[in-house]
Amino acid sequence: MAPLVLSVRPSTPSGRVRIEGNSGASGSCRFCATPAKPQEPSSFLDADGACAYCQLVRRLDRPSIDNEAVLIWLPELTQAALIALVRECHARLRHCGVQHLTERGSTAVLHGSVPIEAREALAAIAAFRSRIAEVEARLGSSSPKALAQAMSRLNGKVYADRARRLHGVRLMPLGHP
């Protein structure tokens, strides 16, 4: 897999290189290895071979990023592993027809009529959301937009070292890009 680093500009400019057999609706994401599936819009690949969730990580400067994702502190998991887990959670919630509960997190887990597979997904999302406070303590914000603005002011050398400097900071897609 290609490295998946929080970025405000892709290292491979879009359109310059087309990844043969890995763009469009077929193949797998180059960054998280998710296979593109017609029934799963978040798995669709862009010209760089990135799925919709990995595109968020690579373009923190998207205008709507704060509605699409939040920063959390999660050094235990790689960005690609977090995306794979979050995608599975969102797929389960959609499968159970309760994707609207995503935002409510742990309080919805107590709701007895929610199927067990959806409750597990909600519990996992709530656990990830509980790491927002830690990233706020460390960075001063959990807003991807704020991080993008800070990153765009960095000089090239510091920006190139962002993966090490941001160790533990992950982007959690919210499931409604």
Q: Note the residues at the interface with Zn ion (CB under 5 A).
A: 29, 31-32, 51, 54
Joined together, the tokens standing for residue 172 give 């959690």
Q: Which is nearer to Zn ion, 1 or 158 (CB)?
A: 1
CB of 100 to Zn ion, least distance (A): 24
Q: Which is nearer to Zn ion, 51 or 69 (CB)?
A: 51
CB of 43 to Zn ion, least distance (A): 8
CB of 141 to Zn ion, least distance (A): 24
Q: Which is nearer to Zn ion, 29 or 70 (CB)?
A: 29
CB of 52 to Zn ion, least distance (A): 8
Supply the DSSP string of the chain, one letter for each residue. Answer: -------SS-SS-TTTS--TTSSBTSSB-TTT-PBP-TT-GGG-B-TTS--HHHHHHH-TT-TTHHHHEEEEE-TTS-HHHHHHHHHHHHHHHHHTT-GGGGGGTHHHHT-TTS-HHHHHHHHHHHHHHTTHHHHHHHHS---HHHHHHHHHTS-HHHHHTHHHHTTTEEEEE-S--
CB of 81 to Zn ion, least distance (A): 11
Q: Which is nearer to Zn ion, 32 or 166 (CB)?
A: 32
Q: Which is nearer to Zn ion, 8 or 98 (CB)?
A: 8
End-to-end CA distance of the chain: 23
Q: Which is nearer to Zn ion, 31 or 73 (CB)?
A: 31
Contacts (Cβ under 8 Å, ≥6 apart) of 25: 36, 38, 44, 45
CB of 174 to Zn ion, least distance (A): 15
